[in-house]
Homo-oligomer: A and B are copies of this chain.
Amino acid sequence: MSEQRDSEGYGIRDEETRPEASPIPHSPVPPSLTTFGPCTLSNLGPGFDALGVCITGPGDRVTAYVTDTPGVTVEPGGDLPTDPATNTAARAAAHLLRQSGARGGLALRIEKGIPLGSGIGGSAASAVAGAWAANEALGLGLDKRQLVEAVLEGEAATGSRHGDNVLPALFGGAVLVDAADPSRYRRLAIPDGLRLAVLLPEVRVLTHEARAVLPKTVPHADASAQAAALAFLLDALRAGDWEAAGRAVMTDRLAEPFRAPLVPVYGVVRRAALDAGSLGCALSGSGPALFAFPDASGRAEPVLAAMRAACAASGTGATGWIADLDAEGVRTLTP
């Protein structure tokens, strides 16, 4: 089967060699749209596997073309798998394509703005961008609640159908998820005004390693303390009580104590944030990303500066930014 390249460099199949006619009219430069999947903080403090928030910052872009070849194809590039089974964007899009019963297919170009293994939901950002791109490009008109299954299915390409990144990335804001059944979730109302310092040290944490270091059992007292801390965090966030929320994110007995050793700069960066007045600092996801609440006067900039400096002093490069809550979640980029 011969291929040609369109002006964007994307491989499309030659119409002449298609075995069947398609209901979708062929055009030499197919119409496309680009979606943006935002980054997310997950495992928020005591919210292991349960609580994630969508924040401003880097994200993944997916450009989708409607094709007349059935199925979803991924433009090769970077480290990303092109097999739809193991590519979160393609898997989410393929789920919707199947569900819709549409003939024809989708070709996706994925631009990773979030490094893999960063702890801020890179695979989820691609999954939601892929699902949204399919929804828009195929004209399915589904609302975001109707995309939950597709984004969970997309995330499952990583080997784990967890919802604490994909659901906040889909809806925006904060989302509580039932790990045992991630199709059960609650969107949480959080007042405006929270700003966070986010630091992404140049350390890669492998998700399966981060899972492997978790203990099989924990003390009963730690389990009850964790539950109470998550409840405090939830209520403090809802009330806009950043001081109590910051204190609550520092309580994690189920993940952070075991995962911190995988991030060599964890201790110095966290210490620096707190010394700079941050109300609370913790790992996001399984790290290496760390986020920190601002100081009591609401300033996040000095906190970020201190985190950057501590990381640099340890000889580790890092990207950092001040994040707001992203209330919108996945979206189409206006051309």
CA distance A229 to B49 in the complex (A): 12
Q: How far is B204's CA from A193's CA once the two chains are assembled, in angstroms? A: 50
Closest to A188 in B: B235
Q: Is the CB of B179 within 8 A of A225?
A: yes
Asked if A177 is an interface residue, CB under 8 A from chain B, the answer is: yes
Cβ A186 vs Cβ B244 within 8 A: yes
Roughly how many angstroms separate A217 CA and B223 CA in the complex, as a whole number? 9
Minimum CB distance partner of A258 in chain B: B220
Chain A interface mostly: mixed
A228 & B179 in contact (Cβ 8 Å cutoff): yes
Contact A46 B217, beta carbon cutoff 8 Å? no
| Nearest chain B CB to A121 CB, angstrom units | 18
* A106, chain B: closest CB distance, angstroms: 34
B218 touches A220 (CB 8 A): yes
Counting CB contacts under 8 A, is A230 at the interface? yes
Between A and B, 11 residue pairs with Cβ closer than 8 Å are A48-B227, A179-B228, A186-B239, A217-B218, A217-B219, A218-B218, A223-B226, A224-B226, A226-B226, A227-B227, A227-B254
A residues whose Cβ falls under 8 Å from a Cβ of B: 46-51, 176-180, 184, 186, 188, 214-220, 222-232, 234-236, 238-239, 244, 253-254
Please name 19 further chain A to chain B contacts, defined as beta carbons within 8 Å, in addition to the given A50-B224, A218-B223, A223-B226, sorted by A numbering.
A47-B228, A49-B224, A49-B228, A176-B231, A176-B235, A177-B228, A178-B228, A179-B225, A180-B225, A184-B232, A215-B220, A223-B223, A224-B226, A226-B226, A227-B230, A228-B230, A230-B230, A231-B234, A238-B238
